[in-house]
Chain A
Amino acid sequence: MRQQWTWTRYLFLGGVSGLGAWVGLLLYLFSLGSAPIFAAGVPLLLFVAVPALHGLANVERARAGHLLGTPIPRPYGPARRGLLTRYADMLSDPANWRDVAWLCAHTVYGPAAALLSAALWSSAAFGITMPLWWAVIPDHLAGSVFYGISVDHLSGALLAIPAGVAIGIVAWLVTRPLALGEAHLARWLLRPTTKARLARRVEDLTASRAETVDARAAELRRIERDLHDGAQARLVSLAMSLGLAEEALQTDPQAAARLLAEARGSAGSALTELRDLVRGIHPPVLADRGLAGALEALAMQSTVDVEADLAPLGRLPAPVESALYFTAAEALANVAKHSEATHATLRLHRSGGSVHLEVADDGTGGADIDRGSGLAGIAGRIGAFDGRMTLTSPAGGPTVLHVELPCES
């Protein structure tokens, strides 16, 4: 029943947008035809007709996508600068011409389907309530025929009831294919072509690859600097202390002992710095125990109370494990630093060919990917694996970070 209503409503609104489609189509054809002739035609086309076309198509994408349960992506490329460039882009972009093709089809299908549906439902309602009409307005029904049944007397009016029911059944059966037909037509014409999808994918991959390369280069620079300023400097100072101690050994044994103690201190500091550096490159516990074990260790270390719910996934590809580990580490660090949370949960599981990681806290919320380089870094890292990151953090909390990485089992 509710579905019948959903389909019928879809058809009725389709009728309305079908009427809008007439306006859009005429406007588009007029400005397209006038553009080569009048100077004003180009801006009219680019700033009125094309946005109207895209607007109508986007409304239909949303409507049909909702009805079919799978969103229909928009196929348009990014707008470039320059009037003539955009004019040329518009003429050469197949997405525009497919929109126009849909618009032509919709000017006919939309109103026709809406009218058919409206006619069937209203006839059914009229037939079923015929005796009522006969009783109230008999004069208007004089000589009237309802689907071959003369209804100017009571028996005819009663006979119209089964006829109305029959029409209702027809309407019931026809609504679904009509609505789905309209939606499928829209999807077929309005979704990006395979070629456009591939082109978009190549663009995305190029961007994420560049990001990955940049991130790697920055990471290597950081490691180089850390080694240079940290462990290397400590070792130099260690060598110096040892050299001085060697000289002082005969003349001033007390000074030699002091220098040796200094040397040991330098060695200890160098080890601490190297250890921290190694943790940042590839945490040893991740190599030892895999993702679930490393996340458990991470949860234990956190200064916030972390409840870990980790499904044993077996070993994943090392880069995936590393990306998920650092995501969790960054997220938990953020929880500890910014959220004022007392409790956090860390979840890891696999479903539908993807690994899901979720970090949630009961803090004050208000986290934003664009503020704070940490989260942007995570997003870049996840993007490199075709993963998706979503952050919901309303002011007042709670904050939930969800990461999904495709990963065949």
Chain B
Amino acid sequence: MRVVIAEDLALLRDGLTRLLTAHGFEVVAAVERGDELVDALLTHRPEVAVIDVRLPPTFTNEGLWAALEVRRQVPGLPVLILSQYVEALYARELLADAAGGVGYLLKDRVGDIAQFVDAVRRVAAGGTAMDPEVIAALLARPQRAARLAGLTPREREVLALMAEGRSNGAIAARLVITEKSVDKHISHILDKLGLAPSSTDHRRVLAVLAYLNS
């Protein structure tokens, strides 16, 4: 799978390259500046891009702007944004185009290599990978909290994992329940929130995130 990496710190850039190569990805470009990133993405058209949010020259949210810009030109180009901190505000901006193929994770998550590689694959396949911290922030918002009060604790757990972008199988494994009961929980949740069941997992996740973000 072809991937472009954007990370300004050489130590982390090499680490990411090594990690992804070891898991069967082909790193076609590893850039260190935000202004090079847009070009690199448009030239290489990778299957997924792993981008640090803070890049030179401004060292602010250059990486996020570049990702949004490229997705304006190439809708749905999968991007996974890594950051030392997460803001629900940025997650909303990333999800605004509802095209899917979006990830937003804390850099810490790279430490759990299996999970991280899974997230990259999920994003590349058009899925979603939202950091649990983002989801927690969205669930805690008062307008939501009132309407989510009708969910059972287990349903809230399922909702959080679903919003992170995990598949039914992953949710079942995580909560140590059967996939069938995950299915049941999800249909209850969608019912209670008044969301239409969707044909694909990705669409469903996007609907849930849009709901949480609204």
User: Which A residues contact B (CB, under 8 angstroms)?
Assistant: 264, 267-268, 271-272, 275, 278-279, 284-285, 287-289, 293, 296-297, 300-305, 342
Range for the number of chain B residues in contact with chain A: 20 to 34
Given A275-B84, A289-B61, A304-B142: A296 touches B108 (CB 8 Å cut-off): no
Q: Which residues of A contact B156 (CB under 8 A)?
A: none
Q: Is the CB of A296 within 8 A of B89?
A: yes
Judge whether A288 and B88 touch: CB under 8 Å: no
Chain B 49-88 interface mask (CB, 8 Å, partner A; 1/0): 0000010000111000000000000000000000011011
Known contacts A288-B60, A289-B61; A305 and B89 CB within 8 A of each other: no
In the docked arrangement, what's the CA distance between A275 and B108, Å?
A: 10
- For B59, B142, B145, the residue with the greatest tally of chain A CB atoms inside 10 Å of its CB is B142
User: Once bound together, how far apart are the Cα atoms of A267 and B113, in whole Å?
Assistant: 14
Q: Is B175 an interface residue (CB 8 A)?
A: no
Q: Is the pair B84, A297 in contact by a Cβ cutoff of 8 Å?
A: no
For the complex of A and B, the 10 pairs showing the least CB-CB separation, nearest first, are: A288-B60, A305-B142, A288-B61, A297-B89, A271-B108, A300-B88, A297-B87, A285-B87, A264-B111, A275-B85
Nearest A residue to B59, CB-CB? A287
The chain A residue sitting closest to B109, CB to CB, is: A268
B143 close to A (CB within 8 Å): yes
CA gap between A303 and B137 in the complex, in Å: 9
Give the residues from 99 to 139 in chain B that come closer than 8 angstroms, CB to CB, to chain A: 106-108, 111-112, 137
Q: State whether B111 touches A267 (Cβ < 8 A).
A: yes
* CB of A340 to closest CB in B, whole Å: 13
Interface: B154 (CB within 8 A): no
A318 to chain B: closest CB distance in Å? 13
| Bound-state Cα–Cα, A272 to B107, Å | 10
Cα(A302)–Cα(B87), bound, Å: 12
Distance between B190 CB and nearest chain A CB, rounded to angstroms: 24
Q: Are A272 and B60 in contact (CB under 8 A)?
A: no
CB atoms of A278 and B140 under 8 A apart: no
For A302, give the chain B residue with the smallest CB separation.
B142
Interface contact A303-B89, CB-CB below 8 Å: no
Q: Which of B54, B85, B88, B141 contacts A279 (CB 8 A)?
A: B85
- Please list 12 pairs of residues, one from A and one from B, whose beta carbons are closer than 8 Å in the complex, sorted by A's number: A268-B108, A271-B108, A278-B84, A285-B89, A287-B59, A288-B60, A293-B89, A297-B89, A300-B141, A301-B88, A303-B141, A342-B142
Beyond the given A268-B108, A300-B88, A301-B88, please list 8 additional residue pairs across the A-B interface where CB-CB is below 8 A.
A264-B111, A264-B112, A267-B108, A278-B84, A296-B89, A300-B141, A303-B145, A304-B142
Distance in angstroms between the alpha carbons of A284 and B107 in the assembled complex: 15
Q: Complex Cα distance A305/B140, Å?
A: 10
Q: What is the CB-to-nearest-CB distance from B117 to chain A, in angstroms, rounded to a whole number? A: 15
Known: A284-B84, A293-B89, A305-B142. A300 touches B108 (CB 8 A): no
Residues of A within 8 A of B89 (CB): 285, 289, 293, 296-297, 300
Question: Taking each of B85, B87, B140, which has the highest tally of chain A beta carbons within 10 Å of its own beta carbon?
Answer: B87
Query: Which residue from chain B places its CB closest to the CB of A286 in the assembled complex?
Result: B60
Residues of B within 8 Å of A284, CB to CB, are 54, 84-85
Could you mark each residue 168-190 of chain B with 1 if its beta carbon is under 8 Å from any beta carbon of chain A, else 0? 00000000000000000000000
Are A272 and B142 interface neighbours, CB within 8 A?
no
Q: Is the beta-carbon distance between A300 and B85 smaller than 8 angstroms?
A: no
Specify the chain B residue showing the minimal Cβ separation from A284. B85
Q: With both chains docked as a complex, state the minimum distance between the C-beta of A320 and any C-beta of chain B, in angstroms.
A: 18
Residues of A near B111 (CB, < 8 A) are 264, 267-268
Chain B, residue nearest A296 (CB): B89
- Which residues from chain A contact B106 at a C-beta distance below 8 Å? 271, 275
Q: Give the chain B neighbours of A303 by CB distance below 8 A.
A: 140-142, 145
Q: Nearest chain-A residue to B142 (Cβ)?
A: A305
How far apart are B104's CB and chain A's nearest CB, in angstroms?
14
Name the residue of chain A whose CB is nearest to the CB of B91: A300
Q: Note all chain B residues with C-beta closer than 8 A to A268.
A: 108, 111
Q: What is the CA–CA distance of A136 and B111 in the complex, to the nearest angstrom?
A: 107
Beta-carbon contact of B140 and A271 below 8 Å? no
Q: Which residues of A contact B85 (CB under 8 A)?
A: 275, 278-279, 284-285
**Min CB distance, A266 to chain B, in Å?**
11
In the bound assembly, the distance between CA atoms of A293 and B84 in angstroms comes to 18
Nearest Cβ in chain B — how far from A281, in angstroms? 12
Q: Once the chains are docked, how many angstroms separate the CA of A288 from the CA of B87?
A: 11
CB closest residue in chain B, given A264:
B111
* B60 close to A287 (CB less than 8 A): yes
The complex places the Cα of A272 from the Cα of B106 at a distance, in Å, of 10
